[in-house]
Amino acid sequence: MKILGIETSCDDTSVALYDSEIGVAENLLSSQVDLHDQFGGVVPELASRAHTVNLLPLVEHLMDRQGLRPRDLDGVAVTAGPGLIGALLVGLSTAKAIARAADRPLAGVHHLEGHILANALSEPLVLPAVCLVVSGGHTELVLVCEVGRYERLGATLDDAAGEAFDKAAKLLGLPYPGGPHIDRLAREGRPDRFDLPRPLARDPRLVFSFSGLKTAVRLAVEALPRPLADQDVADIARGVQDAIIDVLCQRLFQAAEQHGVPAVYLAGGVAANRGLRGAVEHESRRRGLHFVPPQPVYCTDNAAMIAYTGHCHIAAGRHDGLDLDSFARAPLASWR
């Protein structure tokens, strides 16, 4: 089964082909980082316009490289949401047109399900499992009972962890997106200089909060002489990294213990963070839990995870009509 995947939920235009016989045959991406860097974040209207320019050439390039025509596909999968509505509509309209012209089934994919199932692109999933979905827009814990059956266990009460990374990086004068720069600089920072708060550390609920941490970082930066010394930046980066990772790990393994699962997973852009991957790997080994991190290329927004997830839907007999609509926000729901 060959499934074309399209992902345009934010600022990356991506297309991919998933072949059930060989796995991911192709995964192409056109980044808009340089476009949005000057604004310090994603500008929705600019993202939508860039998708309209980039998407069809990417699809044509992929199909040419694979020697395929639209009727050679077995289905088309596309991110329906959550995300930026204008950006999503570009991908959804294109996917509908291809599916209609080729008379092939269309599968609308929830973006978070795509991130979760990206773990299956590395090796078969061990289920049930608790997955920590952590990115610039999401921080939540999901119980994955089986593919297509999910239960949300808890989420952030305010800001996402990825947003906290990016805001801290901006305060330090680091380029957008800031998370990878924090991760890199933290390895050079001293762990005992800035002891930043671990919000809700004693709260028994499976919830997160990062707004207070951002305030603490701002106050710490404002108290330093200007211009910031390289070591000051590295030390604060280390404090931010340690604080966020401590909270994420605490909640992930708290959820795993409560639900007695044999495995834990990471998903989303922050899943590429080396510090987080190392901490979860260490604690999983100590507790005897299965954990294999997703490949970094499948952590950020990509169409390979959408194509694979669409394959799961279509193989199970679930697909959508051409009246499928996009959505900016909606919880991940079970469909099996």
pLDDT digits (tens, 9 = 90+) for 327-336: 999 999 999 9
Answer yes or no: do 201 and 149 share one domain: yes
Please give the residue range of the domain that contains residue 132: 126-293
Q: How long a stretch of residues is the chain? A: 336
Question: 3-state DSSP helix/strand/coil percent for the chain, to nearest 5?
Answer: 45, 20, 35
**321 within domain boundaries:** no
**84 within domain boundaries:** yes
**329 within domain boundaries:** no
pLDDT recorded at residue 88: 98
Answer yes or no: do 109 and 235 share one domain: no
Answer yes or no: do 91 and 155 share one domain: no
Answer yes or no: do 209 and 222 share one domain: yes
Answer yes or no: do 220 and 303 share one domain: no
Answer yes or no: do 66 and 149 share one domain: no
Give the residue-averaged pLDDT of 249-258: 98
Which token pair is 67? 């020697």
Answer yes or no: do 110 and 151 share one domain: no
Answer yes or no: do 59 and 100 share one domain: yes
What does the pLDDT look like over 195-248, one tens digit per residue?
Answer: 899 989 889 999 999 999 999 999 999 999 999 999 999 999 999 999 999 999
Q: Measured between alpha carbons, how far is residue 202 from residues 116, 158, 241 in Å? A: 27, 17, 19
* Number of structural domains the chain divides into: 2
φ/ψ (deg, to 5) at 164: -65, -40
φ/ψ (deg, to 5) at 225: -65, 150
Query: Residue 193's domain is classified under what CATH number?
Result: 3.30.420.40
Answer yes or no: do 206 and 157 share one domain: yes
Answer yes or no: do 279 and 143 share one domain: yes
Answer yes or no: do 147 and 280 share one domain: yes
What does the pLDDT look like over 97-128, one tens digit per residue?
Answer: 999 999 999 999 999 999 999 999 989 999 99
The Cα angle at residue 205 between residues 204 and 210, in degrees rounded to 5? 105
pTM of the predicted model as reported, rounded to 2 decimal places: 0.94
**326 within domain boundaries:** no
Provide Rg for the chain, Cα atoms. Answer: 20
Answer yes or no: do 16 and 132 share one domain: no
**18 within domain boundaries:** yes
What does the pLDDT look like over 299-315, one tens digit per residue?
Answer: 999 999 999 999 999 99
pLDDT recorded at residue 36: 64
